[in-house]
Amino acid sequence: MKLGGIIAAAGLSTRMGAFKPLLPLDGRPILCREADLLLAAGADPLVVVTGHRADEVARALAGSPPAVRLLYNPDYRGDMFLSVRLGAAALPRETEAFFFLPADCPDVRPATLEGLLRAFRAARPDWCVPVYAGRRGHPPLLSGRLLAPLLAYGGEGGLKGFLRQYAPLEVPVDDPEVTRDMDTPEEYRSLTAGRQDNL
């Protein structure tokens, strides 16, 4: 199956007060952990949409496999949906499915992606979403059929607004990290409690 991936790493991280993609987790930038996660699942290409501090992001990903492609979003101060759309436009037409992962979901388990891929291959839905304890989370896995309508979408409500038009396949997972939002220093400290990192 031709699998792609998009990581949105363009924003200002205003609420965090520090740049989320480059914050350390277990001694490595969060963005690098996310890239490794999607690459291990088979994402090729993996489009990393940059903006704020793009040069530093590029340095962090230097030496990554050829599957990793950096794409600059000049309007990175705007809505994240533009990053989604830019990433989608960079995926090959033959893409059968693609993951979307924001740069603040750093600890999702590989088994979660494997479960989403199994469910997608079996049912071929419009999109799959991991569900933990009744809550939907990240990363969604979208069918390549949605690329054209996604690119044509006006942006109302962002990616969530777009996906409301399509029935998802909910995939139960034993992974609380799919529902974690890491937007504030307190949430980062909660994530890194007992680890070597701090803010």
User: Cα 168–80–51 angle (5° rounding)?
Assistant: 135
Quote the CA–CA distance of 76 and 87 in Å, as a whole number: 13
Asked whether residue 176 is assigned to any structural domain, the reply reads yes
Asked whether residue 199 is assigned to any structural domain, the reply reads no
**Does the structure show a pLDDT above 70 at 133?**
yes
Q: Report residue 20: phi and psi, to 5°.
A: -55, -45
The per-residue pLDDT for 185 is 84
94 in Cβ contact with 45 (< 8 Å) = no
The per-residue pLDDT for 195 is 72
The per-residue pLDDT for 72 is 97
Asked whether residue 198 is assigned to any structural domain, the reply reads no
* pLDDT band, residue 198 (cuts 50/70/90): low
Q: How many domains are contained in the chain?
A: 1
Tell me the residue range of the domain where 183 lies: 3-192
Asked whether residue 182 is assigned to any structural domain, the reply reads yes
- Mean pLDDT of the region 96-116: 95
The per-residue pLDDT for 103 is 87
| Strands annotated E in the chain | 3-9, 24-25, 28-29, 46-50, 68-72, 97-102, 127-132, 135-136, 141-143, 168-172
* pLDDT band, residue 121 (cuts 50/70/90): very high
Better-predicted residue by pLDDT, 83 or 195: 83
The pTM of the whole model exceeds 0.85? yes
Tell me the CA distances in angstroms from 107 to 147, 174, 177, one per residue in order: 27, 13, 6
* CATH number (domain holding residue 100): 3.90.550.10
**Does the structure show a pLDDT above 80 at 199?**
no
Range of weakest confidence among 76-80, 104-108, 120-124, 180-184: 180-184
Give tens-digit pLDDT for 30-80.
999 999 999 999 999 999 999 999 999 999 999 999 999 999 999 998 889
Asked whether residue 197 is assigned to any structural domain, the reply reads no
Start-to-end C-alpha separation, the chain: 40
Most distant CA pair in the chain, distance = 45
Q: Given the DSSP bridges, would you call strands 68-72 and 3-9 parallel, antiparallel or unpaired? A: unpaired
163 in Cβ contact with 127 (< 8 Å) = yes
Asked whether residue 46 is assigned to any structural domain, the reply reads yes
% of the chain exceeding 90 in pLDDT: 79
